[in-house]
Amino acid sequence: MRNIIPLTAYYADETGAWKRLPFVCGLYFGFAMAIFAAIYPIDDSHLFYSRVTRVVFAFFFCGIGSGILFPFLTRRKVQSMQRDLYIGKPSIDEPPPPNKRLEYRFPCTLVREHLSSGIGGAMYLGHDGMIFVPHKRNRRPATALEMGPLRGLGIDAVTPPALSLKERILIPHPKRLLEVRWSEGSARFSVPYVDTFLPQLSQLIDGLRAGEQ
């Protein structure tokens, strides 16, 4: 089974979210700890220095620390999961149905109402159409989604759904999604650099169709 998107594409900060996350985390945790320092302890006699100094120190040091450490550790964890899914590590990867004729795959995320509520997994492509298989570490239950037959598939790049407030704060440049249409419905998936990937995917589908004739 051949992956048709390079692993490095999944590590790229295409939307600018990883670049913005340190500032968002720093401000959030900085303000939270500053508020805590401002109200606790209530009795000023237990303070070694003024409450204003405590608030300033809490804001800057907690903000800087969380703005550096949290995004760094989070990105490392996400990239580790992406790599494990990409290479098909059994601890995360769920294989496709064994009775299907499939030749290609690429990790992606099934997008539903919002970008943050997506289902991670891998898309498989072959003579039996396309099959999205959720991986084993999703927080919510999900089942495989079969899209076919191959001759009835349509693909396109579409705009993402309306962003929630949290998504608007974290994602400065929302990327377009891959839409797959078949006789029974349609679904949208987040893949790296969809506008660049779409012609390659279309060519593979056309080649598979030609092989059936």
CATH code: domain of residue 145: 2.30.29.30
pLDDT exceeds 80 at position 47: no
| Listed residues 86, 103, 119: the one ending a domain | 86
Burial annotation 48-77 (CB, 10 A radius, 16+ → b, else e): eeeeeebbeebbeebbeebbeebbeeeeee
Give per-residue pLDDT as tens, 57-110: 889 889 999 999 999 999 999 999 999 999 999 999 999 988 889 999 999 999
pLDDT for res 44: 65
In this structure, what token pair is assigned to residue 51? 């409450």
Closest CA to 188 of 129, 114, 79: 114
The pLDDT assigned to 32 comes to 92
Residues 116 and 74 in one domain: no
Angle at 193 between CA 113 and CA 174, to 5 degrees: 40
**128 shares a domain with 55:** no
Peptide bond into 149 cis (omega under 30): yes
69, 86, 103 - which closes a domain: 86
- 177 exposed, middle or buried (CB, 10 Å; 0-12, 13-18, 19+)? buried
Residue 88, Cα to own-chain centre: how many angstroms? 17
Structural domain including 110 reads 91-212
For the stretch 128-186, pLDDT in tens is 899 999 999 998 888 999 998 888 899 999 999 888 888 889 999 999 999 999 988 99
At residue 82, the pLDDT reads 96
pLDDT value of position 95:
93
Pair (54, 100) in one structural domain:
no
Q: Give the span between the Cα atoms of 33 and 135, in whole angstroms.
A: 36
